[in-house]
Amino acid sequence: METNKKKLTKVLMKVLPTIQPPKIQKTSEWISNGVVKFVDGPNMGLDWVPFSFQREPMDIAQERRTKKIVLQSCSQLLKTTVLQSIAFNLMANDPCNFAFGSSSESEVKKFKDGKFLPAIETSEVLKHLVTDKNDKNAANNSKQTQMVNGTFVYWLNLNTPGNLRGITCRVVLLDEASTVSITEEGSPIKLAEARTSTFGDDALVVISSTPLYKDDLINSEYNLSDKRRWFVTHTCGHEYTFEWEQVAFEFKQLENGRAIPDSTTTRLICPHCQEEIDEHTRHQMIDNGRWVATNQDGEPGVVGYQISRMYSPLNTITEMVSKFADALYNFNLQTFYNNELGLPYEDEYQKELDILQLESLREDEFNIHKIPEDTLGICISVDQQNDRCEASILGFDEKNIYVLGHEFFYGHDCTKIESQAWKDLDTFCRKDFRSIDGRIVPTLAVFVDSSNGNATDTVKKFTARWAKYHPIKGSSSTTGDLFKRSTQAGYELQILNVHDQKNTIRKLLNLMLSTEAENAPIQLRFSSTLPSDYFEQLSAEELKPAGGKLVWRLKKGQKRNEALDCLVYGLTAISYAQSQLGTQPFRKLREHKAKSLPQKINKPEESQPTQSTRRSRRTGVGSNWFGKT
């Protein structure tokens, strides 16, 4: 007969596994014991065993001094494995409310239904921790998943600020942060971090993403961290990080005359001893590597990790060179930098312009009263403001675009056609512009902005006065034709791809400031008579990430960009005018120039044979493009 003591001992032995604290062990050690299996990728069906460089990022989440972990990585190598490992460990060994957020509802659903829940369902350890989806007493829906112990996993769309309110959790896991947009309510990352504020030192935020652009959300967070890199040691004893510059290859010629890297000639070179590193040695170096902090000035408690596919045991350097060749051929280096190197891509358009250097581009040799002799045509662009119209006058030939002047036409309430500004603008645009040798340079097109909704009808009436006037409107799209005819508004309108033209302007400006300016196929030149703040306005915008792409936005503190807008419209007007002249516009312009008779300026008229040259009036209807009104 069992005594009460034995009975009590039996009961205690049965309940002991449920009341004793879990074994203290690192996340990487725990999850490597067959707890869960991979449900996708090349390791599908295999035990969840992290690579050597994946272990520290998931283990450091258990340290109380860690406040934030930033994972800036190439695709399919570090982020998702670390995020899921941390989440699984929380569920099994450190239960609490935690949240997972991504850039869109579809991304959240893709992670939840394609990776997270399937992995749990195949795990004997984890599947009993989640309530049944058919349990009416459990609060399971698209926004949350309830655990058996009463804790929750919250699913957040970072681009919907309303999702970030009303929840409290100790841990927040964020993915694809680079494609998240900052709204009027602030950074979604900061809003998500605020959900953990009541937990003090126990709170943890993990932010991960493949970077897109310099200073996007993930890159900004990484720059505030201690910037850890995976250092490897070669057989020569040199410790360093793998960089793309260490990859050598030869180029091969294609039939179309272009050359791309030949992946069959790929070699990975040690930067110290210059010895070639084979794949077996690379794998050994990766497995024996270590994370080293490279930024001693990082924010306390913020740990950052950056890694490229050069460290992947699942890919070869030869495969990377093939992808690099494809990116070069298709002019898509950004994808290679982001997805393969795990680095933000900074192109020439994002480089900051030096105002003093821009000022040095002013030239005294030309203006609207001294138009260069080789100028073939004039285009004018107009930006409408409430109290004025601003107009840039551009001249051009095959190799030069001259910004001859920027004029102001003031009037009361320019949203009304009766304003004096429109009368003065009309008079100015119809005047004869003469080159320094007295030749009339034809005005080919005048683009007038109609984006101001209050002045749309006014611009419509104004542009109806002369065939060379064209109402325009900028498109919000970053793709598409440079200009496109539209009649949706009930009248003919040119829709401009202002984003693409701003890219072109930035490229031309960078070229003019470089040592290769003299060799540029097109030179953008500026008159010294332009307003004193012209270049400040010309550089008033910068590329900012929005919705996973770069868009031009006013810099913080800048209010005026009319000069930039006018240059955008003016350059597009030149392209439009050339398109109207057929396949050989410059030939036609040169022929017209040859037929034009120069007129002496500010000199006594010499006696000429009795023969009058009749000037064509600009108010009638002409028979060709140059005289058309």
Residue ranges of domains in the chain? 23-227+295-307, 355-595
Give DSSP secondary structure letters for 223-266: HTS--EEEEEE-TTS-EE---GGGEEEEEEE-TTS-EEEEEEEE
Residues 343-356 have a mean pLDDT of 80
For residue range 180-213, list pLDDT tens digits in order.
Answer: 877 777 788 888 889 998 999 999 999 999 998 8
pLDDT at 261 over 80: yes
Specify the pLDDT at position 140. Answer: 86
With bands split at pLDDT 50, 70 and 90, how would you rate the model's confidence at 615?
very low
Specify the pLDDT at position 355. Answer: 92
pLDDT at 338 over 60: yes
Percentage of the chain beyond pLDDT 70 is 94
Specify the pLDDT at position 20. Answer: 74
Percentage of the chain beyond pLDDT 90 is 68
Specify the pLDDT at position 19. Answer: 75
Q: How far apart are CA 550 and CA 455, in angstroms?
A: 29
Better pLDDT: 370 or 213: 370
With bands split at pLDDT 50, 70 and 90, how would you rate the model's confidence at 586?
very high
Q: Considering the entire predicted model, what is its pTM?
A: 0.68
pLDDT at 22 over 70: no
Q: What are the helix (H) ranges across 580-613?
A: 585-595
Specify the pLDDT at position 600. Answer: 55
Fold (topology level) of 355-595: Nucleotidyltransferase; domain 5 (3.30.420)
Nearest Cα neighbor of 400 from 433, 363, 437, 454 is 363
Specify the pLDDT at position 619. Answer: 34
Nearest Cα neighbor of 91 from 16, 164, 198, 173 is 173
For residue range 516-526, list pLDDT tens digits in order.
Answer: 788 778 999 99
Coil, strand or helix: which one is 44?
Answer: coil
With bands split at pLDDT 50, 70 and 90, how would you rate the model's confidence at 437?
very high
Residues 580-607 have a mean pLDDT of 77
With bands split at pLDDT 50, 70 and 90, how would you rate the model's confidence at 625?
low
Query: Whose structure tokens read 């203290």?
Result: 24
280: number of Cβ within 10 Å = 8
Specify the pLDDT at position 629. Answer: 44
Fold (topology level) of 23-227+295-307: Rossmann fold (3.40.50)
pLDDT at 616 over 50: no
Burial label, 515 (beta-carbon count in 10 A; 0-12, 13-18, 19+): exposed
Q: Tell me the residue ranges of DSSP E strands in 82-227.
A: 98-102, 144-146, 152-157, 171-174, 204-209
Q: How far apart are CA 332 and CA 353, in angstroms?
A: 24
pLDDT at 547 over 60: yes
Q: What are the helix (H) ranges across 289-418?
A: 317-329, 333-335, 355-359
For residue range 469-528, list pLDDT tens digits in order.
Answer: 999 999 988 888 999 999 988 889 999 999 999 989 998 998 898 887 887 789 999 999
Specify the pLDDT at position 511. Answer: 85
Give DSSP secondary structure letters for 18-39: HHSPPP---HHHHHTTTT-B--
Q: Which two tokens stand for residue 472?
A: 């325009």
Q: How far apart are CA 399 and CA 384, in angstroms?
A: 30
Gyration radius from the chain CA atoms: 33
Residues 20-40 have a mean pLDDT of 88
For residue range 224-249, list pLDDT tens digits in order.
Answer: 999 999 999 999 999 999 999 999 99
Contact (CB, 8 A) for 38 and 46: yes
For residue 263, give every residue at least 6 positions away whose Cβ sits within 8 Å of its Cβ, in sequence order, or none: 249, 318, 319, 321, 322, 325
For residue 96, give every residue at least 6 positions away whose Cβ sits within 8 Å of its Cβ, in sequence order, or none: 90, 151, 169, 170, 171
C-alpha distances out from residue 143 to 79, 105, 162, 204, 254, Å:
22, 10, 12, 21, 52
Burial label, 516 (beta-carbon count in 10 A; 0-12, 13-18, 19+): exposed
Q: How far apart are CA 136 and CA 133, in angstroms?
A: 8
Better pLDDT: 233 or 40: 233
Percent helix / strand / coil, the chain, rounded to 5: 35, 25, 40
The count of C-alpha atoms lying within 13 angstroms of the C-alpha of 232, restricted to the half-sphere facing its C-beta, is: 22
Q: How far apart are CA 146 and CA 157, in angstroms?
A: 18
Average pLDDT, the chain: 89
Contact (CB, 8 A) for 380 and 463: no
Q: What are the helix (H) ranges across 288-388?
A: 317-329, 333-335, 355-359
C-alpha distances out from residue 41 to 80, 173, 400, Å:
12, 21, 54
334: number of Cβ within 10 Å = 16
Q: How far apart are CA 555 and CA 209, in angstroms?
A: 25
Report the range of poorest mean pLDDT among 12-21, 397-406, 549-558, 576-585: 12-21
